[in-house]
Each structure stands twice: as C-alpha cells, then as structure tokens.
Amino acid sequence: MKPYNVLMLCMKTMVHGVFLVLCVLFALLGCQESRKYDSSQETSGAVPLPNAAEHNATTFAYDKAAIEELRRNKDSAFRYASWSPLTDFDKERFKGLSYFPVQAHYCVDARFEPLTDAETIIVETTQPTDYRKMRRVGILRFVLGQDSCQLTGYVDKDQAKQAQSRGDAVVMGVYFKDRTNGVSTYEAGRYLELQYVEGATAYTLDFNRAFTPYCAYNDSYACPLVPKENILSIAIEAGEKMYRKPF
C-alpha cells in the first residue's frame, strides 16, 4: 500500500475513534442530567401534599402500602417544597411527622345520609377574624369496633365554586375530634377529606389517612374548627399524631 493511502486510512480511523468517544461522553452527560432532573423533581415541590381529595370513588380498598407511601411523600414535601406550611427554621430541623401504625380496622364503610335541605352555616377558624361558609351535606354513620358513630360532612362553598370552575372534584371535609386530642394528637382536632359525589349513599372513612391541619405547623394559617356535632366520645388511634415543633 502506498504511504499516502496508509496515512489517509490512519486519519479516518482516528476520526471515527474520536467520534465514538464523543458519542459516549455525550450519552454519559445526558444520563447525569436526567438523574439531576429527576432528583430535583423529588425535592422541589413536585410531591403533592395528601391533604386533598385523593380518590375518584366514594369507597376504596384498604391499602397499607399506599398509605405508607403517602406518608413518605408528605414528609418529603414538608421538608423541601416551597409551599410547605413549615417555616424555613422548622424545615431545616424537620425529621418527619409522627403517625400511629397503619391498622386495617380503622378503615370503615360509612352509610351516607344526604341532607337534601343542606343548610349553610358559618364555621369559625383558628384565626378570630376569619370564617368559612359551609354546607352540611350529609351524615356519615359507621361502626368502629363496638361503637356506633356518626360524623357530618361539610363542603366549603367558596372552595367548591372554585373547584367547579376549574373542573376539579369538590372536596367534602370531615372535621373531627376524639379522645386523643391534646394527648397524642393535635388538640384542635384532625381532618379527613373525600371527593364529594352528588347522590352517593356510602363512603369509606380510612382514619389511617386522618391528618393535622396546617395551623398546627404554622400559626399564620386559618383552619376550620371542628363543629360540636363532630366530637367523638372514643379514641381514634390512627392517622397523624401531634406535631412537636423543633427547638
């Protein structure tokens, strides 16, 4: 082979080699950027707070794994999300929320008795100058252990109007107090939220999903106070426990 041809063959081989090396490098960089993006999504508020209506149906199966995942996601959101109710000081020291163990017997089916003449009432909040206009939409009757219980479901009129204008589900709030308040849970009570469905006759109440309102984490929030008719005489040892602010 002539020297000129040998030289050209060597140059082509070198060019192909450099091209392959560059392709590999770009691929590796692309993978790194993808991982960075995914990681930022996990810690920048992409994890939603589980404080809204989570289900498309009024009844659902008990799912321990799903509840535990919700709890992990909530901890992540509280620690990293810009819209977390925690102050910056508390975020830096936040070690996670406390919960009762997930227990199947705290997930119960409730008979729903709609209030056809649902009246609008004024519900006070934790802020003395704030109040909410709510409709008493129905009574939830259920049995927990040996106890027959009932709770009233409420729909915030302003929030419902906003949700409907966006095409979102309307939330029914079940605000309740029980014998754990001030002992192992927030003294002002806890909440359950369900998707409100017109004409529904049954709902599932999973007290493992009971959560503490934002006012427990930050005094600047206004949260509806539990109506007297939703004060239970039993202890609901399920769901979120009392939040203790870090020092």
pLDDT at 236: 98
Determine which of 5-19, 185-199, 221-235 has the lowest per-residue pLDDT on average. 5-19
Q: Does residue 165 surpass a pLDDT of 80?
A: yes
pLDDT digits (tens, 9 = 90+) for 105-155: 999 999 999 998 878 999 999 999 999 999 999 999 999 999 999 999 999
pLDDT at 60: 64
What is the enclosing helix (H) or strand (E) of 110? strand 107-114
Q: What is the pTM of this model?
A: 0.76
Q: What does the alpha-carbon distance between residue 78 and residue 75 come to, in Å, rounded to a whole number?
A: 5
Strands 190-195, 202-206: pairing is unpaired
What's the token pair of residue 200?
A: 């529904």
pLDDT digits (tens, 9 = 90+) for 139-152: 999 999 999 999 99
What is the enclosing helix (H) or strand (E) of 112? strand 107-114
CB atoms within 10 A of CB 51: 17
Q: How confident is the model at residue 58 (pLDDT cuts 50, 70, 90)?
A: low
Averaged pLDDT of the chain = 81
Domain ranges of the chain: 1-43, 64-230
pLDDT digits (tens, 9 = 90+) for 6-49: 434 444 444 444 444 334 333 333 333 332 222 222 222 333 33
Strand ranges for 115-231 from DSSP E: 120-124, 131-144, 147-156, 171-176, 190-195, 202-206
Alpha helices, DSSP H only, in the chain?
3-43, 64-80, 88-93, 157-166
pLDDT at 48: 39
Q: What does the alpha-carbon distance between residue 2 and residue 7 come to, in Å, rounded to a whole number?
A: 9
Who has greater pLDDT, 162 or 246? 162
